[in-house]
Amino acid sequence: MEGVARKLKRRYFRKAIIYFLTCCLILNTSLPAVLALESGNIINSSGIIGTPTWGDHTIIDTDHGAIINWNNFNTSGTQSVGFNQYKSGILSSNSAVLNRITSGTVPTEFNGALNANGRVFIVNPAGIIFGAGSTINVTQLVASGLNMSNDAFNAVLDEHSGQMEFSGGNGKVTNSGSIRADSVYLVGSKVNNQGIIRAQNGLIVMAAGDHVFLAQDGSNVAVQLDADPGDTVPDVQNSSVINATGGTVVLAAGDTFSRAINNVGTISALGGTVTARAARIENNGIINVSSGTDGGNINITGIEEVVFDPDVPTGSAVAEAGPDGNGGTITIESEGTVTIGENARISAAGGSNSGDGGVVKITGEHFSITGGIDASPRNKDYEAGRLEIHAPTVNILDGAGTGALDTVYEQDFETLSDKGTGLAIYAEKDIVVSDILDGEIKGRFGNIELHATGAGSSVSFEDTSDTISTTLGDIIIEAGGAGIDIGNLQTAKDLSDIQPTPGQISLTTTNGGDITAENLIIKDGWGHAKINVDASGGLTVNGDVVVGRDSAILNVPLTSEAQAIISLSAGNDVVLHGDVRADAQGAHEGAEGGVSKAYIAITSGTNDMLTGDVTINGDLVATAAATDQGTSEATIEIDAWGLVHWGPEAADPVAEADAWTVRVESKESAIETNEDGDVAQIIVNEQGNVAGLTGLPDLVETQMDNPVEGNVLTNDIDPEGEALTATLVDGPLYAKSFTLDDDGSYSYTPQAGYVGTDSFTYTASAGGETTVPVLVTITITNDLPTAINDMTLATINTATIINVLANDIDPDKDPLKVKSFFYEGAGTLVLNANGTFTYTPAKGFVGQETFTYRATDGQIGDYVIQAKVTVRVGQRPVPSEFYMPAGPGPDKTEIRVSGCPALMKWAAKELGVDRKRLEVWSVNGLASARGIQPCDACSGLQTAAAILSDPDGTHIAALAQVINEFAASTAPMSEELASYIANRVARDFKARKDYMLAGEYFGALADYVTILNRQMGFSVEESVQMTTEKYVVPLVESGNEGVASYMAVRLDALSVFLTVLTLNQVN
């Protein structure tokens, strides 16, 4: 009977502890779907005014900032929930109420009507479903399947510039109903719209991830993912209608792990803005920001991929203007591939009556375009639109497009430019125009631009007899150090009824790039016409350069004067094999005092270093005629750093003004004017510099302590081609060793540990000529150290020494030194003289803290590194040689130790003690003093340990899920809620797997602590500390800080419970 009583006592004691732990845990409960709200559905609340009206038409009056914790917020299609929201005693659209639902793993199903005059937040970490018949009419709706803490809610009550924060939980949000509000935010692990969402002139946000941070105006939405979800279902989906006319729509999913946004419905923000960002974006529906005035803005960013590929022809992205508006802006970006399928239509067209064209910008590592793109002004009298394509490599091929990767076709240029959409290509590498079979890429209104943006990039024609032409569109070509080598460029007049300006021609290189071209022609036109060529290297034109070839450039009556401008400039030599002509005539009534101008400028040697001759093999002619109201100027100006060479076929340059009545003709400077103020002039500035022996400075770099070799004469120049000799002038100051041979080769080793710059000078000689001293600069760099984040464990109320530099790396093996640190915690952090830190947590603190430190290697030009240190503070571990309670010695109790050697061995290892000592203590302490068989105690401890060790992780995962589901609530646990949870756990223990696993874990925890304290005789403190060391600290080390910290707090509470129980039994 005594044994039976003891077993019953242990059984009920175990149940009491389980109940205690359960009441203290923040657990979620699984409630059956209740299709009518009642007062019992509120767990606790703050901010409710008066008594709500319950039933099918629930009405709740709330104050600003009210928080209601529900166990059920479900409604049927015939039910409604209304909030009368007050602020300062009056109804206010700014008043907010937070409804947090705790429903286990079952999402909230809202199928009825929700009406409110203010801002309504609905948060359920298990998810939210707005059914097909539901209707939402509020000022602001925030529906989240991620947790929103009370603090996060309070932070945005009155601070509209603050950001909303959602984190924790894994709930999906689905709308199949009708939502109407000024602003709508749907947030969850996944967000799906199958219904209708409307926010006239407002904001609609759909964001999916593990953590979401968003500005209340939608200007900044950040989504973070903790890990790859491992599925291919899009995180944000729209298959119906999203409408924010005049407002903003923002779609956001994680930009890692291939998380996706998919639209097969309609997203409309007429005249407003639609923004989408994710790893992958697929739009097979319609995104429309067109309006009756100016078109809106569409911004699509898919880090891995963007695909616009509907099954049938559709307006995939439309930002068109009304009859008298400007076209909008469409930006599509990806670090991967952008695909515009054949059925897609991208349009940012301007108004049909008036208005400029819009802008479409496509940026990607790769692109494929077969669909239609239009950014034109529908009325060609207005400014052309623009299509920009940015990619590392772009191919330009003959004929019609087939959607090949990274390729633009002849007909793309022609179709776009003809309608009034310019096409600008930006490529980091070379741009090559393949052979065009019909000989011409023929544009019209839109620009044709080729921009090779890399430092060593080029633009070239495979066949330099080919032509790129437009009428009103500009032709712009830019390249880097590899230069421009092209055929013919030509623009001309168009739309003679409005007398527009013809397209301009511009060629530019950088980094010493040469320019070679055939013919550069502006045939005719009105107003300002200019050809501008600026070569960083040399310039060669094999054909003619003419502004006003077919007919003179004419003035626009009373609007703009006739101007024919040619500017040819080169860093080095200019060679012109053809004619250069500029013809401007004021043929129509002009403005009083206006000047008709024909101007030719030829400049060489702008690099002012090596060469700069001008060679002219054709004719130079500038002709200008004034209007009756103005004057005319005809100017030819040649500025040569070196010499001007005239070919045998080159006639004297001619400048003619005032209808040829004022004229000069000369290869030297000359000027003629008349009393009316007309001017004809020729300016020749021949500086006469001759390239001679030139020594160019050298820049060399090496790492600290590393030698470097080279030859200083490699880049030096002798026009005669003679061999050069180097002679040292001044040696380096910080060299460990240095040599310079007369053939220019040198070897330099810096002094040990030196970081900085050093230099020496030399002269180069050849044929009796010697340069001035030439400088060679050597930069000695220090290999940068690398800081590595640290993670360490600490014990409650105990100082810990942390060596943060131990794992940091310096390739030069320089000793690192902590320069500064930053810590905001409640404990103390002291930097010791030896570079270590002493960290002491705040009294009683259990959890995680971080600090950062900055360190250097102490070298000249040192680089400051920074790293983060994470400290996890747990309960005090029990020393391996812990105190074993002594018994009074053997008595009449029969001891069974010899029959369970394996168990005793296991227990000794589990508790970290010597086996022999454990056996003696078991005999003296357990059997003699307590009448407990050691084998029984060890067996019970082993059974509990098998569950607590949780080898497959299922128990810890279930516990983490239960705790994390309630982590959003920062309110203290009330007795009412604890009792409610305990009752629910007891009722649903067998029905819920997560409850069953959590229950098993807490039962094992109760057994383990009970056996240590009640059977083995350890004190309450020792029992809890041993359990903490064995099963809580490893949770910290495995990354389950939340569970570990929570369990530590619970074990502290349990120790109080056991202590009180012991005292009661003693009394």
Query: Could you read off the pLDDT of 254-273 as tens digits, one per residue?
Result: 876 678 999 999 999 999 99
Mean pLDDT confidence for 889-910:
56
Strands 545-547 and 520-522, by their bridges, are: parallel
3-class secondary structure, 574: strand
Picking from 164, 171, 174, 238, the residue whose alpha carbon sits closest to that of residue 209 is: 171
Q: Give the pLDDT mean for 935-949.
A: 79
**Residue 315: per-residue pLDDT:** 74
Q: What is the pLDDT of residue 7?
A: 37
Higher-pLDDT residue of 10 and 939 is: 939
Q: Do domains 698-780 and 790-874 have the same CATH topology?
A: yes
Q: What is the distance between the alpha carbons of residues 434 and 415, in angstroms, rounded to a whole number?
A: 18
Query: Residue 882: what pLDDT?
Result: 41
Can you tell me whether residue 960 is helix, strand or coil? helix
Residue 947's pLDDT is what?
Answer: 82
3-state secondary structure 570-638: ECCCEEECCCEEEEEECCCCCCCCCEEEEEEEEEECCCCCCCCCEEECCCEEEEEECCCCCEEEEEEEE
Higher-confidence residue: 906 or 388? 388
pLDDT at site 765: 94
pLDDT greater than 50 at residue 461: yes
Please state the rounded mean pLDDT for residues 895-915.
65
H or E element at residue 533: strand 528-535
pLDDT band at 286 (very low <50, low <70, confident <90, very high): very high
- Looking at domain 698-780, its CATH architecture is Sandwich (2.60)
pLDDT confidence band for 587 (50 / 70 / 90): confident
Bridge partners for 727 per DSSP: 763
Q: Taking 50 as the threshold, does the pLDDT of residue 700 lie above it?
A: yes
Under a CB-based contact definition with an 8 Å cutoff, are residues 677 and 597 in contact? no
Higher per-residue confidence, 35 vs 535: 535
More confident residue, 637 or 767: 637
Other Cβ atoms less than 10 A from the Cβ of 734: the count is: 16
Mean pLDDT of 129-147: 96
Nearest to 910 by CA among 937, 929, 885: 937
Q: Is the dihedral of CA 951, 953, 958, 964 positive or negative?
A: positive
Structure token digits, residue 853: 């430190």
Quick check: 13 pLDDT over 70?
no
pLDDT band at 960 (very low <50, low <70, confident <90, very high): low
Contacting residues for 972 by C-beta, under 8 A, at least 6 apart: none
What's the pLDDT at 773?
Answer: 93
CA-atom Rg of the chain in angstroms: 41
pLDDT of residue 961: 62
The DSSP output letter for 513 is -
Q: Are 469 and 441 in contact (CB under 8 A)?
A: yes
Spatial separation of the C-alpha atoms in residues 571 and 509, rounded to whole Å: 10
pLDDT band at residue 685, thresholds of 50, 70 and 90? very high
Q: What is the mean pLDDT of residues 387-396?
A: 96
Dihedral angle computed from the Cα positions of residues 239, 244, 245 and 248, in that order, rounded to the nearest 10 degrees = -120
pLDDT surpassing 90 at residue 179: yes
| Res 988: pLDDT | 54
d(CA 393, CA 891) in angstroms, rounded, equals 92
Rounded Cα distance between 712 and 697, Å, is 8
Nearest-angstrom CA–CA distance, 589 and 217: 54
Looking at residues 604-621, what average pLDDT do you find?
A: 87
How far is the CA of 735 from the CAs of 602, 743, 1000, in angstroms?
Answer: 48, 21, 73
- Each domain of the chain, given as residue ranges in start order, spans 36-271, 535-561+572-686, 698-780, 790-874, 909-1065
How far apart are alpha carbons 1 and 1022 in whole angstroms?
31
Q: How far is CA 507 from CA 157, 464, 478, 1000, in A?
A: 57, 15, 6, 78
Instruction: Say if CB 65 and CB 45 are below 8 A apart.
Output: no
Confidence of residue 533 (pLDDT cuts 50, 70, 90): very high
DSSP run (H or E) holding 307: strand 297-308
Identify which of 366, 368, 316 has the alpha carbon closest to the alpha carbon of residue 343. Answer: 316
Q: Is the pTM of this model over 0.75?
A: no
pLDDT level of residue 1017 (50, 70, 90 thresholds): confident
Dist CA 190 CA 206 (whole Å): 9
Count CB neighbours of 953 within 10 A.
11
Q: Which of 183-197, 296-310, 871-885 is least confident?
A: 871-885
Q: Which are the contacts of 823, defined by CB distance < 8 A and separation ≥ 6?
A: 829, 849, 851, 852
| pLDDT reported for residue 939 | 77
Question: How far apart are the C-alpha atoms of 268 and 260, rounded to whole Å?
Answer: 20
What is the rounded distance in angstroms from the CA atom of residue 373 to the CA atom of residue 848? 54
Answer whether 567's CB lies under 8 Å from 522's CB: no
The CATH number fitting domain 790-874, selected from 2.60.40.10, 3.40.50.300, 1.20.1240.10, 1.10.150.120: 2.60.40.10
- pLDDT for 26 equals 33
pLDDT of residue 843: 85
Q: Match domain 36-271 to its CATH number in 2.160.20.10, 1.10.1740.10, 2.102.10.10, 3.90.170.10.
A: 2.160.20.10
**Backbone phi and psi for residue 1000, each to the nearest 5 degrees, phi listed first:** -60, -40
Angle 1020-1027/993-1010 helices, nearest 10 degrees? 130
Rounded to an integer, the average pLDDT of 290-299 is: 96
Residue 280 confidence class, pLDDT cut points 50, 70, 90: very high
Q: What is the pLDDT of residues 243-256, one digit of tens each?
A: 999 999 999 998 76
* Helix locations, 395-534, DSSP H: 410-419
Q: Buried (b) or exposed (e) across 297-317, using 16+ Cβ within 10 A?
A: bbbbbbbbbbbbbbeeebbbb
SS3 785: coil
- CA-based nearest residue to 512, from 568, 572, 427, 450: 572
CA distance 852 to 854: 7
873 pLDDT band, cuts 50/70/90, is: confident
CA distance 961 to 948: 17
Query: Residue 965: pLDDT above 70?
Result: no
**Cβ-based neighbour number of residue 556 at 10 Å:** 19
